[in-house]
């Protein structure tokens, strides 16, 4: 319990000392997203401050008249930070010695922090790939982090709802 309190104080101190001002432009929002994800990965403790920063940065990336509701983005950000913190914490737990099968898996690992950042940028900007393609990339991160299916599915549904608010639903070709 004492360690958890110290971690929370550390996160607060880091955010107070180093956090950039609230994002005014999409480029500063992208930089701050990276900062928030790094802070979350290093401390592995989700806080209200990180959730607010993530929500604000995501909202700053959405432009034009098609913006998701702040409440939807905040709910997604809160669940995402909790889930990622738990997954990154689990990665630091003492591991059993590596087996040969683990070595091939390690070779194909992705930079989860960078992928999450890019998925958030892509879905909020509404450009490039389809909502489903971006969600599939985020799902790959969740799979690599060994996030259970029910949590991952819930997050992906919220993620897709945000994407649909930004650019509308994906069009599916008619099957004849």
Number of domains observed in the structure of the chain: 1
Residue 101 belongs to some domain of the structure:
no
**In the 8-state DSSP scheme, what is residue 65?**
T
Residue 114 belongs to some domain of the structure:
yes
Residue 6: the pLDDT is 40
Residue 26: the pLDDT is 81
**Sign of the alpha-carbon dihedral angle for 77, 80, 86, 88:** negative
Taking residue 124's Cβ as centre, other Cβ atoms within 10 Å add up to 28
Q: Which residues have C-beta within 8 Å of that of residue 39, sequence separation ≥ 6?
A: 11, 14, 15, 50
The pLDDT-based confidence of 102 (bands split at 50, 70, 90) is low
Residue 175 belongs to some domain of the structure:
no
Residue 133 belongs to some domain of the structure:
yes
Whole-prediction pTM: 0.76
C-beta separation of 120 from 58 below 8 A: yes
Give the residue numbers spanning the domain of 148: 2-91+106-167
- Distance, in Å, from the CA atom of 130 to the CA atom of 82, rounded to the nearest integer, reads 26
**Sign of the alpha-carbon dihedral angle for 22, 27, 29, 30:** negative
Residue 96 belongs to some domain of the structure:
no
10 vs 47, more confident? 47
């Amino acid at each position: 319990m004492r360690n958890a309190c110290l971690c929370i104080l550390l996160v607060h101190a880091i955010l107070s000392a180093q956090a950039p001002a609230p994002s005014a432009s999409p480029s500063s929002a992208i930089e701050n997203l990276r900062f928030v994800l790094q802070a979350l990965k290093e401390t592995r403790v989700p806080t209200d401050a990180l959730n607010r920063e993530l929500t604000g940065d995501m909202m700053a990336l959405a432009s034009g008249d098609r913006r998701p509701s702040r409440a939807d983005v905040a709910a997604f950000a809160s669940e995402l930070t909790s889930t990622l913190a738990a997954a990154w914490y689990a990665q630091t737990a003492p591991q059993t010695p590596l087996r040969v099968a683990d070595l091939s898996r390690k070779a194909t690992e992705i930079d989860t922090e960078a992928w999450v950042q890019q998925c958030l940028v892509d879905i909020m900007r509404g450009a490039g790939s389809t909502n489903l393609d971006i969600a599939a990339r985020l799902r790959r991160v969740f799979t690599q982090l060994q996030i259970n299916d029910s949590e991952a599915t819930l997050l992906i549904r919220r993620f897709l709802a945000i994407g649909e608010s930004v650019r509308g639903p994906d069009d599916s070709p008619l099957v004849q």
